[in-house]
Each structure stands twice: as C-alpha cells, then as structure tokens.
Amino acid sequence: MTEKQRIGIVGGTGYAGAELLRLLSAHPNAEVIAVTSRGDAGTPVAEAYPQLRGVIELDFVEPSTANLADCDVVFFATPHAAAMRDVPALLDAGKRVIDLSADFRLKDATEWASWYGVEHACPELIERAVYGMPELNRARIAGAQLVAAPGCYPTAVVLGFKPLVEAGLVDVDRLIADAKTGVSGAGKSLKPGFLFAEMQESFKAYGVAGHRHLPEIRQSLAALAGADVGLTFVPHLVPMIRGIHATLYGQLNAAGHDLQALYEKAYADEPFVDVLPAGAMPETRHVRGANMCRMAVHRPGGGNTAVVLSVIDNLVKGAAGQAVQCFNLMIGVDETRALAVPGALP
C-alpha cells in the first residue's frame, strides 16, 4: 500500500478548500498537516468549519514556503493570480502541486493575461502544467509535478461534448453551451448579487459577452477536434447552493448515428461519468456531494440537433473531487479512492 502523503492546503477557508478537507480527511493515503489562511491564521480549522470538529485538529497558518516545507503534495484553493506567485518555489523544493485556480489552465500566457487582467508571474511553468481532467489526460496526470485542475463549467461542458467532437459528428463552428450554476461557485464573498434576498426566486444570465471559462472550454474542445472551435457559452445563476447543469447543443453533420451507443461506449470505463438510459433527464440533486458527471444525450424529434444534458456538483467533480481524483493518479492508487460515494439526496 502506498504510504501516506503529507498534504498542505493553501486557501483553506473557501468552499473548495473545505471540500478538500472533507474528502482528504477520509483518504487512507493522505495526512493533512498544514492548512493556510491569511485572514484566519492562528484559529482552529474546526472553528471555521464545525463539520470538521474532531476530524481536522489543526489551526490555520500563514501561507509560506516554510509552513509547507514538510508537505509532499500541496493543493491550492485560492483565487486566480495567487498560486502562480508561490508555485515556483514549491516545485523547486520538490513538492507536487495541484492548483484548483485558473493560473495554469490556459496554455497561452498572453491570453490568460487578457482574461484575468494581470501579467502571468511564471509563464515558463504553463507548458509544464498538466490539465487535470482525467478523462482527457489520465496518463500525463500520473507523472505530473504540476496539475491545473479544470474549472467547474469546463468540466461539465467538455465531458458533455467530448464523444460528439471526438467522433467528428457535429459542426464544431456552431457549438452552444447553456449552463446554470449554484451560488457556491462564486465563493464566500459578500457581493450584493449573491445575497439571499437578491437571488432567491430569481434566475439570471451573466458573462454573456465573455466568461473566463470560455477560453478554457475552447482550448479543450479544440484539442479534441484537432481544430479551433466556435462556441457560444452563456452561464446563468440559479437560486441553489450546489450544482451545474449544462445543456449542450451541436448540429449533427451526418444522419444515422446511434448517439446513445456512442456515449455509452465512450464512457464505459470511466468511473466518474455516468451515461443515463435513453430518454432520461439528469438532475443536479442526483450528484450533490459526489464526484460524478451524470449525462444524457437526446436527438429531439429525430432531427439534426444533438442535445446533451450534463450535471455535476461544482464543488466536487467541478473542483475538489476532481483534484483528489488527480491526486490518486499522481500517487499511484485506485482513482476512486475516497471518492466512490453516491450523492446526498434529498
């Protein structure tokens, strides 16, 4: 059995950090030894997250290379533009890093800067980073020192489109992703648009002119298609805490294909992608708390439009769970370890 890996979590006070703590606390090959927070250094982790009382007996510490010196693997659950300033020193010290932020997802540093409004601090590391979607890069993740965990929207959208795009069955110049997310995707910041009284019993689109996950989705789909893709991506905020529902549209360029069989074959060996029976409709509540992407493929009226419904928990398969899935690959244990649990219903 693989020995325990000493784990550090940078940015442990956010929702993704809390999910990492929940999942890793039950992992037989992980021992969390450092959880950092600039604002809460010196206070117990269980004070911020009482559900971890008796599970994580640590205090938050300041984020520094010294406080992470004894770690084997360091997870970053920080806002964008934070990890890139600390990752080089950790890599030089021989640590393996899994970054849940966007800092190493895009392969073009200039494009990254245009979307995130700041120059990349270590563009030389971008090529070394492996995009952490196991369904795309399983072998490369296993040998990586730096993994860039995907965003939540890209996970639901890319997995949903993957079989169609790989098989060349859709017009990749006219892909449409209409996606909805729960409010936890915005983190814990107290912004007026995310307050209960502002969002409850309402439903709105945002980022229509351009969302930061758009170039990430395009990058992955282009790699699958072998050419640039045209994608219209419109995200929406709905009044729920967890979950992403992506409704994906692709114009079929050939008739007679059995889309159900295509999807079932494409994901037959994937432990965390579940293709539902023909005619089914996945719901976000069916993946709540689980590291699962559940999907269904439809062809309305037998026409030339494929419609894929793809749902995930944005904090698990869309963030912390997928990061732990990558961790399992990196340390050479079963990919499902500490993740093979069903969603919580209701």
Enzyme catalytic residues: 152
- List, as one string, the DSSP characters of 217-269: HHHHHHHHHTS---EEEEEEE-S-SS-EEEEEEEEBSSS---HHHHHHHHTTT
Whole-number Å distance between alpha carbons of 151 and 100: 8
Strand partners, 309: 247, 296
Degrees (nearest 5) of the Cα angle 167, 171, 175?
105
Instruction: Report the C-alpha dihedral over residues 119, 124, 125, 128, rounded to 10 degrees.
Output: 140
Whole-number Å distance between alpha carbons of 335 and 269: 12
> Which amino acid, 80?
H
- List, as one string, the DSSP characters of 111-179: HHHHHHSS--S-GGGTTTPEE--HHHHHHHHHT-SEEEPPPHHHHHHHHHHHHHHHTT-B-TTSEEEEE
Whole-number Å distance between alpha carbons of 148 and 128: 10
Of 235, 244, 233, 100, which is closest to residue 182 (Cα–Cα)?
244
* Residue with the two structure tokens 């007679």: 256
Asked whether the CA dihedral 150, 151, 152, 158 is positive or negative, the reply is negative
- Beta strand 293-298 with 305-312: parallel, antiparallel or unpaired? antiparallel
Whole-number Å distance between alpha carbons of 11 and 56: 15
Whole-number Å distance between alpha carbons of 252 and 305: 6
> How deeply is 79 buried, as exposed, middle or buried, from its count of CB atoms within 10 A (0-12, 13-18, 19+)?
middle
Instruction: Report the C-alpha dihedral over residues 124, 125, 128, 129, rounded to 10 degrees.
Output: -140
